[in-house]
Amino acid sequence: MNTPISGNLPRAIGIIGGGQLGRMLIYCSCKLGFQYVVLDPDPFASAKPLANHFIQGSLYDPVSLRKLLEHSDLATYEIEHIDTKTLREAEDAGYQLYPSPRLLETIQDKLVQKEVLSKAGVPMPRFFRFDGTGKDPGNTLLSLTQSNGISYPLVQKSRKGGYDGRGVKVLRSPADPLTDVPSIIEEYIPFQKELAVIVARDREGNTALYPVVEMVFNPDHNICDTVLAPARVPSDVTNEAYRVARLAVEALEGVGVFGVELFLTSEGKVLLNEVAPRPHNSGHYTIEACLTSQFEQHIRAITGLPLGATDLIRPAIMLNLLGESDALGVPFVEGFKEALSIPGVSIHLYGKREVRPFRKMGHVTILGTTTEEVLRKAEQIRGILKVRSVET
Ligand SMILES: Nc1ncnc2c1ncn2[C@@H]1O[C@H](COP(=O)(O)OP(=O)(O)OP(=O)(O)O)[C@@H](O)[C@H]1O
Ligand SMILES: [Mg+2]
C-alpha cells in the first residue's frame, strides 16, 4: 500500500486495459494527483505513454492481473473482456475493485445481464435464450418465437464476447441462417432513435446522471460515429430515459460510471439495450461539454470522492474519427490544422500506431451555442478530417 494522497484515498490506481478509454481516464483525472498502473497486451497501447507504470500482459493472465493489483491500491477496468475469476478472488481477499468483478460477470453474458435487469423491472425488448443450431433440431426456433410471442425480424446476439456490433445479427426471415453460438434472440425494435445516458454511482449509492444523448450509428459498419448532446426528444422521454438508466445501474449495484444504451421506440417508449460497466463512447463529449467529464467522474466514484456536477455547458456533438475504408498502416490525419482552426472544435487522437478500416483512431468534440450550429460544424468537419494511412 502506498501512502494515501489524503484521508484514506488510494495513491496508485490500476487500470485493466490500456486502450483509449484508459488513456482518457488518465488524462482527465491525473489533475487529482493519482498515479496510474496500466495492464495491456499491446506494447504500444494508447494509455501506456501516460501511465506511471505499464505492465505488458494478457487481460486473461492471472499472473499479470495479480501483478497489476500488487502495484496499485485500487483497480478498475476499461474493457469488459477480461478474466473475472482472478479478480473475484482478489475482491474476496479484500482488494478494492470497481465495478465489482461479480457485476462484470453479469454484464459479460448478455443473457444473464438481461435476466437480472428484466427481473428488476427494467423495460427492454422481449428475448429468449438460444443454445446454438446444434441444439436446435427441427423447428425449435419457430416454436420458441411462437411461445414467446415474437416474430421476424429477430436479432441474434452472442451471449459473450461481442463489441462494436460484432456478434449481433439481424434475421429478416427464416431463410437467414442462425449463427451456431450460445446466444439470445430478441425482437427487432424499429427504433426512432438510439439514446444513451451516462450514469455515475458512488460507493454510498449516490447517483449523478449526464444529459440524455442521441447516438447515430453508421450503417456501413455498425459503429456509433456521432453523438449529439442534448438529445432532440421531449422532456417526458428524457425523464423516462433517466428513470430506466438509473434503475438499471441501481439493479446492478454498480459503482463507477456506466454507459446505458437505450432505444426510443416509434411509439415513444424507452427500452434498455445494454449497459457498459465503464466510461462509454457516448460520453466522450463530457470532456469539453460538461462540468465534470465521465472519466474524472469514474475515478471520483471508485475512489470514494464526491461525485462532480454533470451540467451541460453548451450543446455539443462528438464524431468518432474512424480509419478510412482503405486505410491500412501508419496513420495520417488529413485536415488536422484546418479542423482545429474552427472555433469550438477539440480533437482527441488516441496515439494508435496503426490505422485499419473503421478503427477508432480518435474523436472530435464540437461545442456551439445551438444544436443547429454544432450540426452544421459537424458536417464541415466531416468533409475536412480523414484518417488515412501514409501509404494510401
Ligand atoms: N433488438 C434490436 N432491435 C434493433 N436493433 C438492434 C437491436 N439490438 C441491437 N440493435 C442494433 O445493433 C447495435 C449493436 O447492438 P448491441 O449494443 O447489443 O451490441 P454490441 O456488440 O454490444 O455493440 P457495442 O459494443 O457497439 O455497444 C445497436 O446499437 C443497435 O443499433
Ligand atoms: Mg451496444
Sketch the domain layout of the chain as residue ranges: 12-97, 126-187, 193-389
Question: Given this structure, which CATH class describes domain 193-389?
Answer: alpha beta
With a cut of 90, say whether residue 186 has pLDDT above it.
yes
Which of 168, 171, 186 has most ligand 1 atoms within 8 Å of its beta carbon, as the pocket-test mutant?
A: 168
With a cut of 70, say whether residue 1 has pLDDT above it.
no
Q: Could you confirm whether domain 126-187 is CATH 3.30.1490.20?
A: yes
Q: Find residue 186's DSSP bridge partners.
A: 127, 155
186 lines ligand 1 (CB under 6 A): yes
**Which CATH number fits the domain 12-97, given the four candidates 1.10.1060.10, 1.10.3190.10, 3.40.50.20, 1.20.1440.230?**
3.40.50.20
Ligand nearest to the CA of 164: 1
Cell numbers for 146: 411462437
> What does pTM read for this prediction?
0.95
pLDDT band, very low/low/confident/very high, at 137 (cuts 50, 70, 90): low
For 192-221, what is the mean pLDDT?
Answer: 92
168 lines ligand 1 (CB under 6 A): yes
Ligand 1 centre distance from Cα of residue 135 (Å): 25
pLDDT band, very low/low/confident/very high, at 85 (cuts 50, 70, 90): very high
Residues 6+ apart with CB under 8 A from 107: 80, 113, 252, 274, 275, 276, 277
Ligand 2 centre distance from Cα of residue 390 (Å): 32
Q: How far apart are CA 102 and CA 85, in angstroms?
A: 9
Which residue has the least CA distance to atom 24 on ligand 1? 164
**CB-based contact 99:105 (threshold 8 Å):** no
Instruction: Kindly report the average pLDDT of the chain as a whole number.
Output: 94
Q: Which amino acid is at 343?
A: P
With a cut of 70, say whether residue 292 has pLDDT above it.
yes
With a cut of 90, say whether residue 214 has pLDDT above it.
yes
Tell me the pLDDT tens digit for each residue of 47-69: 999 999 999 999 999 999 999 99
Q: How far apart are CA 51 and CA 30, in angstroms?
A: 10
Ligand 1 centre distance from Cα of residue 168 (Å): 7
Ligand nearest to the CA of 183: 1
